[in-house]
Structure formats: structure tokens, C-alpha cells
């Protein structure tokens, strides 16, 4: 997962982001709970050089300041707006993974004028009460025993055993990232992830940009059924299930996971490039 990249920038409220440069349309990537912008290192080479890619550390993660104790999803979405403003970006394609997918959903509903397209990666939607209670219980375990109390179980869920056995160095990097999190920021964020899976459910029909909803075949937290159900709520959204993949497919099998993502993004980029010179153009049509 090691890859040289520009140094992070900080917004006025302490949100860290990395501007990878480039002259193309903007693609913003949001990581999941307990991770940071480095999770994208193995995916980036598959995205090519025709995007200006922005990697954000969510509040309480990586180099970003911790969120307030009462932060809700709209606080996290507002930090994305803050990064766009700091980087002089009007609109972007927003791709979020896991908790990042919840933030991306919130952004799409709260700030549609800043959105060109939406990618919801390994996101959660409409959990059963039992599943939701189990995840809330994990938050309690972190409060009692620290982040390390749940990190090994998370790694077991996230990676396939066969791949993990041959890549313990990569898994250890993820473990270290998890265990080094600011506990307050982690708990605040994890609690939202545990409870907000149905955020904006009745408003999803208002999302009017091209949307991809994607997960892995064996992702036990973001199941194929969740992905299909979420996509069915968003007009025109495409649901994709990557065969053989678990939650961290963007790390474990970036080449395979990237294929449907690139197939979704490339036509958008071509259309954006074509229309970039039209002053009357405000959004991508489906």
C-alpha cells in the first residue's frame, strides 16, 4: 500500500486532503471507518492519468482533526464541500467506500449542485435490527477496550483468508492504521456508521446524477442484496457485485475491482471533457 504522493494539505478547520494533480475532471475518494487516504494506493494506478484525484481524510482519521461529539453525517459532507472550496473545485465525481459511501450519499442529497456523478462502494443500506444491534455493540467494545478490541475481527471480515495468508505485510499496515486512530474520532464516526444505514432513504429517488453502487460477492457487511436494494432506490443507478471479493477488495484485488469502476467512469470523463467548454453546461445527463 506504499506509494509516493504529494504532501497533504489542510483546510481551515483541519481537514487533511491530498491533491494528486492532473488537468482532467475531478474525482474525490472517501475512505471507510478506521482508515485514511492511503487505502487507495493500489487502486490509483488503475484509474489512469486523466482525472484530477482528491483523497480526503475524514474527520477523526489520518491527518484530519476530530469531529465534534454531536457530529452527524451532514458535518462530514460539509467537510467535503470545504475541501472542494479549498482546492478551487466547483463540482466533482464523488466515490465513497463503506462509511465514505454514507458520507457520499449525504453529500448527494445535501449538495447536489456540487456533484457530477456518484459511486457508492461497499456501502450499507437497510440492515436488519439484529445486524444493526451487533454493530452498535462493537462501538461499545471500542469504548470499553479501545480500537484494538475490534480490529482483529474487522480484518477477518475484510480480507479473504487465502489472500491474507500471503499478504500479512499489507494486512499489518491496515492493522496499524486501525489501532493508531484517535479513539474519540473513531467512536463518533463508527457510531454514525452503525446507525445511519437508512439515512435519506426516502430521498434517494431525488438523486439525479449517474450512479454506480458496487460491492463484493462475499462482503458480509455490505452484502450484494444491500447493494441491489440501494441501487433500486436511485433512478438509473447501476448495481455491480464483484465475484469472489470481500470488503477490502480495493486493496486485495484492485485490478478486478477497478474494471467496473473504470467502465463507469471513462464514459463520464469523455462526456465531461467534451462539454467542459460549454458555459451553459451545468450537469451530466444520464
Using an 8 Å Cβ cutoff, are 177 and 1 in contact?
A: no
Q: Residue 274: pLDDT band by 50, 70, 90 thresholds?
A: confident
| 78 pLDDT above the threshold of 70 | yes
Task: State residue 279's pLDDT score.
Answer: 46
Residues in the chain: 286
* Residue 22 DSSP symbol: -
Q: What is the mean pLDDT of residues 165-171?
A: 96
Q: How many CA atoms within 13 Å lie on the side-chain side of 165?
A: 2
Domain boundaries of the chain, sorted by first residue: 9-275
| 286 pLDDT above the threshold of 60 | no
Q: What is the mean pLDDT of residues 108-116?
A: 99
Query: What is the pTM (predicted TM-score) of this model?
Result: 0.94
| 225 pLDDT above the threshold of 60 | yes
Could you read off the pLDDT of 50-73 as tens digits, one per residue? 999 999 999 999 999 999 999 999
| 4 pLDDT above the threshold of 70 | no
- Which CATH number does the domain 9-275 belong to among 3.40.50.880, 3.30.450.20, 3.20.20.190, 3.40.50.1820? 3.40.50.1820
Task: State residue 272's pLDDT score.
Answer: 84
C-alpha–C-alpha distance, residues 109 and 4, integer Å = 34
Amino acid at each position: 500500500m506504499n506509494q509516493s504522493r504529494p504532501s497533504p494539505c489542510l483546510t481551515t478547520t483541519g481537514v487533511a486532503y491530498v491533491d494528486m494533480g492532473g488537468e482532467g475532471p475531478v474525482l474525490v475518494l472517501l475512505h471507510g471507518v478506521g482508515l485514511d487516504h492511503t487505502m487507495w494506493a493500489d487502486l490509483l494506478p488503475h484509474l489512469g492519468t486523466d482525472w484530477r484525484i482528491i483523497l480526503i481524510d475524514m474527520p477523526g482519521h489520518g491527518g484530519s482533526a476530530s469531529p465534534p461529539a454531536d457530529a452527524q453525517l451532514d458535518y462530514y459532507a460539509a467537510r467535503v464541500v470545504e475541501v472542494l472550496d479549498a482546492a478551487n473545485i466547483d463540482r466533482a465525481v464523488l466515490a465513497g467506500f463503506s462509511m465514505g459511501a454514507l458520507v457520499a450519499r449525504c453529500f448527494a442529497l445535501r449538495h447536489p449542485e456540487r456533484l457530477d456523478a456518484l459511486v457508492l462502494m461497499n456501502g450499507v443500506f437497510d440492515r436488519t435490527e439484529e445486524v444493526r444491534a451487533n454493530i452498535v455493540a462493537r462501538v461499545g467494545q471500542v469504548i470499553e477496550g479501545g480500537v484494538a478490541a475490534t480490529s482483529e475481527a474487522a480484518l477477518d471480515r475484510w480480507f479473504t483468508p487465502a489472500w491474507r495468508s500471503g499478504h500479512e505485510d499489507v494486512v499489518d499496515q491496515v492493522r496499524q492504521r486501525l489501532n493508531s486512530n484517535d479513539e474519540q474520532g473513531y467512536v463518533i464516526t463508527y457510531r454514525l456508521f452503525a446507525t445511519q444505514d437508512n439515512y435519506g432513504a426516502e430521498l434517494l429517488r431525488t438523486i439525479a446524477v449517474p450512479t454506480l453502487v458496487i460491492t463484493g460477492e462475499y462482503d458480509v457487511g455490505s452484502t450484494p442484496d444491500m447493494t441491489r436494494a440501494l441501487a433500486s432506490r436511485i433512478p438509473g443507478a447501476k448495481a455491480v457485485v464483484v465475484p469472489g471479493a470481500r470488503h477490502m477488495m480495493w486493496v486485495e484485488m484492485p485490478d478486478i475491482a477497478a474494471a467496473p469502476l473504470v467502465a463507469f467512469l471513462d464514459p463520464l470523463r469523455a462526456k465531461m471533457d467534451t462539454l467542459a467548454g460549454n458555459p451553459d453546461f451545468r450537469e451530466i445527463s444520464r
